[in-house]
Homo-oligomer: A and B are copies of this chain.
Amino acid sequence: MPNPTAAMLVIGDEILSGRTRDSNAHALARALTLHGMDLRQIRVVGDVADTITTAARALSETHDHLFTSGGIGPTHDDITADCIAAVTGAPIGVRDDAREILARHYAERGTELNDSRLRMARIPDGATLIANPVSAAPGFSLGNIHVLAGVPQIFDAMLAGLLPRLAGGTPVASRTLTLDRGEGDIAQTLSRVAQEHPALSLGSYPSWTGDGYRVAVVVRGADDDEIGAAIGKLRAAFPEARE
């Protein structure tokens, strides 16, 4: 059975303006690979309701899971929960279970649970809360859409709690060979080995060292023995390769 598919929607003007460099997409990509989910697409959009809703609908309809990050704080531009409710048609309001989590958290700290903070208890009907062990305000799963915070430490913590609830597939294993060459030297061999092992994915990733190319050849797949066979063929063709 093929692995479940996934998409990610990163929400926030600050990424598009270049103020902030997103790190949640990379964290999710790594986590899903280990969990046996196949991340097929990432989109980054701004804090605009129509854009968020359109993207969330398109991505959740065409993938087994959609993960979102950002836009669930207390300020006027935090509109993700309402947008996701709109996608599914679920009613949304301040929910008692989420309010209780916030009330306890802020009471312990002597901080007022004001109207702005109470916005973070707006959760669609039927959604399952995702715990936030860092700063209490929860995320949620509604159908196949999983709504997580944008702050990286909180995103990571929410994801760590969420993933074990979601059925994964076969973790993808990989081995990498590194060569101090350009891709043009190895492309024909790579193409031949790829054709001989259609169950594997062979990729070559060049980098520039300042005075020449280096290339990492990555062999990925579910079967360690077959990965080993392909690595053996590449080593035979390029004896200087380092693993």
Binding site for B on A (CB under 8 A): 10, 13-23, 25-26, 28-33, 39-47, 51, 73-77, 111, 114-117, 119-120, 134-135, 151, 153-154, 172, 174, 182-184, 186-188, 190-191, 194, 201, 203-208, 213, 218, 220
**Nearest 9 CB-CB pairings of A with B:** A18-B29, A116-B187, A18-B30, A117-B184, A42-B44, A76-B191, A21-B26, A74-B184, A75-B187
Query: Complex formed: what's the CA distance from A219 to B83 in Å?
Result: 24
Query: Complex formed: what's the CA distance from A23 to B40 in Å?
Result: 19
Chain B residue, CB-CB nearest to A43: B43
B46/A43 in contact, CB under 8 A:
no
Query: Complex formed: what's the CA distance from A28 to B16 in Å?
Result: 9
Given A135-B208, A208-B134, A208-B135, A13 contacting B74 (CB threshold 8 A)? no
Partner of A115, one of B18, B188, B206: B188
Residues of B within 8 Å of A206, CB to CB, are 73, 151
Query: Complex formed: what's the CA distance from A191 to B116 in Å?
Result: 10
Residues of B within 8 Å of A134, CB to CB, are 208
How many identical chains are in the complex? 2
B208/A154 in contact, CB under 8 A:
yes
Least CB distance from A193 to B in Å reads 10
Residues of B within 8 Å of A42, CB to CB, are 10, 15-16, 42-44
- Main SS class of interface, A: mixed
Residues of B within 8 Å of A33, CB to CB, are 17-18
Query: Complex formed: what's the CA distance from A218 to B30 in Å?
Result: 31
8 residue pairs A–B, Cβ–Cβ below 8 Å: A13-B203, A17-B39, A21-B26, A22-B26, A41-B43, A43-B43, A135-B213, A151-B206
Given A204-B75, A208-B151, A18 contacting B14 (CB threshold 8 A)? no
Least CB distance from A42 to B in Å reads 4
Residues of B within 8 Å of A51, CB to CB, are 40-41
Least CB distance from A162 to B in Å reads 17
Query: Complex formed: what's the CA distance from A111 to B181 in Å?
Result: 11
Given A184-B114, A187-B116, A188-B116, A41 contacting B44 (CB threshold 8 A)? yes
A74/B172 in contact, CB under 8 A:
no
Query: Complex formed: what's the CA distance from A115 to B194 in Å?
Result: 17
B18/A187 in contact, CB under 8 A:
no
Q: A77-B203, A116-B184, A135-B208 are in contact. List 18 more A-B contacts (CB 8 A).
A: A16-B41, A17-B33, A18-B26, A18-B30, A18-B31, A21-B23, A22-B26, A42-B43, A43-B43, A73-B183, A73-B204, A73-B206, A75-B186, A75-B190, A75-B191, A75-B204, A114-B188, A134-B208
